[in-house]
Amino acid sequence: MDCQYLEDLHELFLLGALAEQDEIKLREHVATGCPRCAERLGEAALTLFAILQSPRPLRNDPGARARLLRRLRAK
Ligand SMILES: [Zn+2]
């Protein structure tokens, strides 16, 4: 399934920060049962969970911050 273009949207989707158009696209695609996106959503959820769980996550893990920012900017 060709969903390369959705690759950087999962975190934003979970944050509710996607443009409506992109959210609908991703939602409809995930509803088709794409295993790759299911896995990516799982990873994105864990990333966000880890960030939200720690009081100072970005300072403690600059690598994670860089990865997240890169992902968020790579649209
Ligand atoms: Zn997919």
Mean pLDDT calculated for residue range 1-18:
87
Asked whether the predicted pLDDT for residue 72 surpasses 90, the reply is: no
Tell how far the Cα of 2 is from the centroid of ligand 1, in angstroms. Answer: 7
CA dist 62 and 2 (Å) reads 32
Contacts of residue 43, defined as CB under 8 A and 6 or more positions apart, other chains included, come to: 10
The pLDDT score that the predictor gives to residue 63 is 77
The pLDDT score that the predictor gives to residue 52 is 81
Model confidence over 16-59: pLDDT tens digits? 999 999 999 999 999 999 999 999 999 999 988 888 887 765 55
21 exposure class (CB count in 10 Å sphere: 0-12, 13-18, 19+):
exposed
Tell how far the Cα of 57 is from the centroid of ligand 1, in angstroms. Answer: 29
What are the extents of the domains in the chain? 4-73
Tell how far the Cα of 26 is from the centroid of ligand 1, in angstroms. Answer: 8
Tell how far the Cα of 5 is from the centroid of ligand 1, in angstroms. Answer: 9
Tell how far the Cα of 71 is from the centroid of ligand 1, in angstroms. Answer: 16
The pLDDT score that the predictor gives to residue 61 is 66
